[in-house]
Structure 1
Amino acid sequence: MSAERAWGLVVETTVGTGERKHTEAQVVAHVTGSRQEALAELERRARSYSPAHPLSPRRRRLLRVGDGFLLVVDGAWQSFVTRFTVAELLEDSAAPHVPAPVTEAPPEPVDEASPPAPAAPPRSELDEDGVPVRPAWLGRRDLT
């Protein structure tokens, strides 16, 4: 069984014509799952892909290669190639930061020799609004 991983779907396509003809690559999507799931999505995209060149395609061939697909489209004068590759995503400098899970520290052991915390102030030590005159935490040794 394959482990869940992040995969980049890369499309390298021929752009331009004549002496300006060159290949450009871009990551068109990310898939989280198995390599087989990423390949299935890549194949779906390759089958429906419509390249900009040639303007008048005469023949279209989609071939499976080791880690993707190769689309060869013949035009009137030239052939144009688009390569579809699935690649495991190892690093992404623009990925959103996911904070590490927070784990609570175990409670500190209670020292049996320390005196118990003082009791809450009696009701008589409240001001006219009902707020304690002396805060409950004042004088507690277990808060340092």
Structure 2
Amino acid sequence: MTLIELLFVIAILGLVLALAAPEFSTIIQKQRLQSDAQRMSWVLRMARQEAISSGQSQVIYFYTSDTKYKVKNGSTYQLSPGITYLGLTTFAKHDDKAACIFLPSGVPSHAGTVTLENQKGELRYIIVSVAAGRIRVSDKPPLNWE
């Protein structure tokens, strides 16, 4: 292989990488959004389970201006870089903060939805149903939003 052939191969590789970089960024943003939504749903499920097993209500606060959420008397979780809350959550206020409260029966005191957004404008909804305390992640808003 001559020096000219080597330079030609390096130039082609550079061009391919330059074209693929924006797509790679999109994939990373989508993965961060999905990962944060799944982690939030897991935290909500664990709080629900703790309410049932301990017989005490569990509260999760959402700090929409700081891109974090916290289990009362527990851990604080930070959203990934580039992931933000879209607007406010639909949960009722508790201690002047939006909060999801699981009663000792495992049922939430109110239904609610948290909407997460990435830098590409993609959304994930973390939906808590009041009837059974079901927690799910969706790329579509709840039916009652229409």
TM-score by length of 2: 0.25
| Larger fraction in helix | 2
| Larger fraction in strand | 1
Instruction: Pick the structure with greater CA Rg.
Output: 1
